[in-house]
C-alpha cells in the first residue's frame, strides 16, 4: 500500500494580510518539494469539503456557523490578532478538514498505508469554540474523531510543533479514549502545555522544552516520556500534527531542531503505531515559517512516512 498525499490549489489561496508569516508561499514551497522524483510513488489525491457533521465532532455548531457566517466575499475577516479569513479561506479550511476525514477513511479501510496532508491554514490552536493562532478548524482532532466511525475506539494526536496545540488539548481533555502528546518551546505562544497538565483521565502528556533546546533534548522528550505514554495508552489510530517551526532557522521559534530530528520523530511514532495501531497513521501540516526549512523538513518527514 502507498502513502497518500492531499493537496489543493485553494490552500494557496487562503488569504492573510500582507506581511503575515502564515503566507501562501508556505504551501507552494512544500508542494514543490514533494514534486521531487523521490516522491513519485505518492498517491496524490484531491481533498473533499468536510461536512458540518464531521466538523461538529470537534467544534461546536455555534462556532462553525460563526465561521461560515463571517466568511467574507471580499476583503478580510479577523477572528483574533493573528487569525484571518478571506474569500477563499472557508473553502480552504473545509478542505483541510475534509482531507483529514478522507485520509482517515482510506487508512482505516486499509486502502492506504498512511497519509500526509500538505495544507493551510493550520489547525491545532483552534479550540472547540474559537479560532486562534492562524487556525480555523482543527483537522488533526477532526481526523481522530472521524476514525471512531470506522471502529477506532482509542485515538491519539502527537504534536511536535514549536507551539503547544492548545486547541487539540482542549478538545481531548475530558475524553478518556483520546490522547494528546506535545513537545513545544516553553515559554512560547499560547502559554499552555505545562508538564503538570495531564487531562481529566491522565490522557494528556506535555514535554515543554527550554528555549535553544536542540535535537538531543527533543529526542529525550519523545523517547523517554511522550512515546512511552503513547504506547501505554494503546491507540487504535494515530494522527500527527506536523509543525516544523521548531527548526533552528524558523523565525517564530526558539528551538534548534534539524530535518534529521523530524525524520527521527516520524519513524519513532510510526513504530509505536505499527505496534499498537496496526500502523494506522496520518499526518497533517501545522506550522513552519522559514520557507526553505519548512520545505526540507516536510520532505524529510514525508520520506520517513513513506518508509514506515
Strand, helix or coil for residue 205:
strand
Task: Print burial letters for 102-140: b (CB count within 10 Å at least 16), e (below 16).
Answer: bbbbbbbeeebbbbbbbbbbbbbbbbbebbbbbbbbbbb
Compute the distance between CA of residue 208 and CA of residue 220 in angstroms, rounded to an integer.
12
Name which of 266, 293, 299 is nearest 114 in CA terms: 266
The residue annotated as part of the active site, out of 8, 124, 125, 146, is 125
pLDDT at 201: 98
Residues of the chain with confidence (pLDDT) below 70? none
DSSP label of 221: I
Helices (H), 120-191: 139-147, 166-172
To the query of whether residue 125 is one of the catalytic residues in this protein, the response is yes
- pLDDT one-digit tens code per residue, 211-255: 999 999 999 999 999 999 999 999 999 999 999 999 999 999 999
What is the pTM for the complete model shown?
0.98
The residues, any chain, with a CB within 8 Å of residue 21's CB and separated by 6 or more, are 251, 252, 289
3.40.800.20, 3.40.50.20, 3.40.50.970, 3.40.50.11600: which CATH number matches 3-307? 3.40.800.20
Amino acid at each position: 500500500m502507498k502513502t497518500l498525499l492531499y493537496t489543493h490549489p485553494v490552500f494557496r489561496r487562503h488569504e492573510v494580510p500582507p506581511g503575515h508569516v502564515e503566507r501562501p508561499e508556505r504551501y507552494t514551497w512544500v508542494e514543490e518539494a514533494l514534486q521531487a522524483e523521490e516522491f513519485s510513488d505518492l498517491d496524490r489525491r484531491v481533498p473533499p469539503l468536510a461536512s458540518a457533521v464531521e466538523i461538529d465532532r470537534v467544534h461546536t455548531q455555534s462556532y462553525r456557523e460563526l465561521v461560515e457566517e463571517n466568511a467574507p466575499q471580499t476583503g478580510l475577516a479577523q477572528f483574533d490578532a493573528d487569525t484571518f479569513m478571506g474569500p477563499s479561506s472557508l473553502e480552504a479550511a473545509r478542505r483541510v478538514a475534509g482531507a483529514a476525514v478522507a485520509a482517515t477513511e482510506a487508512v482505516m479501510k486499509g486502502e492506504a498505508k498512511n497519509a500526509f496532508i500538505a495544507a493551510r491554514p493550520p489547525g491545532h490552536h483552534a479550540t472547540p469554540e474559537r479560532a486562534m493562532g492562524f487556525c480555523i478548524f482543527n483537522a488533526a482532532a477532526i481526523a481522530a474523531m472521524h476514525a471512531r466511525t470506522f471502529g477506532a475506539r482509542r485515538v491519539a494526536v502527537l504534536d511536535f510543533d514549536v507551539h503547544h496545540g492548545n486547541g487539540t488539548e482542549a478538545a481531548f481533555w475530558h475524553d478518556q479514549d483520546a490522547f494528546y502528546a506535545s513537545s513545544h518551546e516553553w515559554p512560547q505562544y499560547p502559554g499552555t502545555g505545562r508538564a503538570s497538565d495531564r487531562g481529566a483521565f491522565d490522557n494528556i502528556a506535555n514535554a515543554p522544552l527550554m528555549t535553544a533546546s536542540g535535537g538531543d533534548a527533543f529526542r529525550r522528550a519523545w523517547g523517554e516520556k511522550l512515546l512511552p505514554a503513547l504506547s501505554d495508552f494503546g491507540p487504535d489510530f494515530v494522527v500527527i500534527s506536523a509543525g516544523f517551526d521548531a527548526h533552528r532557522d524558523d523565525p517564530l521559534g526558539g528551538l534548534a531542531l534539524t530535518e534529521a530530528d523530524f525524520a527521527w520523530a516520524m519513524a519513532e511514532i510510526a513504530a509505536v503505531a505499527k505496534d499498537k495501531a496496526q500502523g494506522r497513521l496520518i499526518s497533517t501540516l501545522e506550522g513552519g515559517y522559514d520557507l526553505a526549512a519548512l520545505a526540507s523538513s516536510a520532505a524529510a518527514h514525508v520520506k520517513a512516512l513513506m518508509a514506515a
